[in-house]
A and B are shown apart, each in its own frame.
Chain A
Amino acid sequence: SHTAPARSAPPVASYGLARDKDPQRFLGDRAAALGPGAQDMVAVHMLRLYEKYRQRGARPGGGNTVRSFRPRLEVVNQRALYFFNLTSMQDSEMILTATFHFYSEPRWPRAHEVPCKQRAKNASCRLLPPGLPARRHLLFRSLSQNMATQGLLRGAVALAPPPRGLWQARDISPIVKAARRDGELLLSAELDSGEKDPGVPRPSPHAPYILIYANDLAISEPNSVAVTLQRYDPFPAGDPEPGAAPNNSTDPRVRRATQAAGPFQDNELPGLDEKPAQAPHDPQGHKHALWPSPFRTLKPRPGRKDRRRKGQDTFAASSQVLHFDEKTMQKARRK
Chain B
Amino acid sequence: QWDEPRVCSRRYLKVDFADIGWNEWIISPKSFDAYYCAGACEFPMPKIVHPSNHATIQSIVRAVGIVPGIPEPCCVPDKMSPLGVLFLDENRNVVLKVYPNMSVETCACR
Contact = CB atoms under 8 A, between A and B. Distances in A.
B43 to A, nearest CB: 26
Per DSSP, chain B at the interface is: strand
B87 A34 contact: no
Contacts, number: 82
Interface string A55-79: 0000110001111111000000000
Given A65-B97, A228-B97, A50 B91 contact: no
A166 interface: no
Given A50-B28, A88-B95, A225-B99, 12 more contacts: A30-B27, A35-B88, A42-B94, A46-B94, A49-B96, A60-B98, A64-B97, A64-B100, A65-B95, A66-B96, A225-B102, A229-B87
B53 interface: no
Contacts of A85: 91
A207 to B, nearest CB: 13
B87 A88 contact: no
Nearest to B23: A33
A64 B90 contact: no
A43 interface: yes
B85 to A, nearest CB: 7
A219 B28 contact: no
Interface in A222-246: 224-225, 228-232
A65 B96 contact: yes
A71 to B, nearest CB: 10
Given A88-B89, A220-B100, A34 B94 contact: yes
Interface of B: 21-22, 25-30, 84-102
A38 B98 CA distance: 22
Contacts of B99: 64, 219, 224-225
Contact of A69 (B86, B93, B102): B93
A54 B95 contact: no
Contact of B94 (A38, A53, A60, A225): A38
Contacts of B98: 53, 59-60, 64-65, 219
7 contacts: A49-B96, A65-B98, A67-B93, A67-B95, A88-B91, A225-B85, A228-B87
A20 interface: no
B94 to A, nearest CB: 4
A227 B93 CA distance: 17
A85 B93 CA distance: 10
A232 B85 CA distance: 18
A50 B25 contact: no
A231 B21 CA distance: 9
Contacts of B92: 38
B90 A88 contact: yes
Given A50-B84, A54-B84, A88-B89, A43 B94 contact: yes
A47 interface: yes
A220 B97 CA distance: 12
A204 B18 CA distance: 32
A62 B22 CA distance: 27
Given A67-B89, A85-B91, A50 B96 contact: yes
B96 A229 contact: no
A216 interface: yes
Given A59-B98, A224-B99, A47 B86 contact: yes
A64 B28 CA distance: 16
Given A67-B89, A88-B90, A46 B97 contact: no
